[in-house]
Amino acid sequence: MPHQPVVVITGASSGIGAALARRLGRSAFPLVLAARRAGALRTVGDEIGGDILLVPADVTRRADVNRIRDETLARFGHIDVWINNAGRGINVPVLELSDEQFDEMMAVNVKSALYGMQSVIPHFKQRARGHLINVSSFLSRVPLATYRSAYNAAKAALNALTANLRMDLRRDYPDVHVSLVMPGMVTTEFARNALGGTPSMTWASARPGAPAPIIQNADDVAAAIEALIAEPRTELYTQDGQLEMVLRYYKDVGGFERNL
């Protein structure tokens, strides 16, 4: 089997991160798995086995993110792919958000990824190659679940940081790839762990003509990310029809919203 890249995955103790770790582990990728819940992280690691490093860490702390990088370099000598996957949702409408709720969404979904970018990109620049993957959300582009307001806003901020970083690197570092992944609705612990609970999906069924949400499982998204590692691209929507919906939204925001 050819040499596989060294991959760092944050938020690897459950959901998309754990599914991706299992998938890559089956293909003998050297893996570094990071998450706040050490026990759950060990469980995932025990399932995978192989060439794996577990790093319990809180990615909302810059020092912890730097430690993930440093322990990876100490173990493997280099990093090929860094995946900022850690995140948390919230289900509170705009007018009911507290300062604490908004700050937490920005810390978990944006600042953690910023710390990852600032930690690993200098290493990629030194090697003149590497692949950064930021996991965002389809909901950052279209207002289909307004009760996730601050989560959607945080992921929109992540989108902007990702695009700006890619533009900063593209001329001098063409082999440092920066990708954004846009999952839709995914069956993971994410909804159960969202702040404020998760309401039923009434937006589709309550609006005549609105499409019913398509639910993916975490392994579907993991398969898409594995393909992205093999063939980097700038953005990846993980469900058919998502890009078309986004294009319709930005072509006529008012018309799109009136039809929801």
DSSP state of 237: E
Could you give the angle at the alpha carbon of 49 between the alpha carbons of 48 and 53, nearest 5°? Answer: 100
Amino acid 174 reads: P
Q: Kindly list the distances between the CA atom of residue 186 and the CA atoms of 1, 19, 138, 156, in Å, as whole numbers in the listed order.
A: 32, 12, 11, 18
Q: Report the C-alpha gap between 240 and 237 in whole angstroms.
A: 8
Nearest to 25 by CA among 54, 47, 40, 3: 47
The active-site residue, picked from 115, 147, 151, 237, is 151
Task: Please state, in angstroms and rounded to a whole number, the distance separating the CA atoms of residues 104 and 154.
Answer: 10
Give the CB-side neighbour count of residue 115, counting CA atoms within 13 A.
23
DSSP 211: P
First to last CA, the chain: 50
Instruction: With residue 34 as reference, give the H or E element that holds it.
Output: strand 31-35
Alpha-carbon span 216 to 225, nearest angstrom: 14
Taking the C-alpha atoms of residue 221 and residue 226, their distance in angstroms, rounded to an integer, is: 9
Question: Is 173 part of the annotated catalytic residue set?
Answer: no
Which residues participate in catalysis according to the annotation? 151
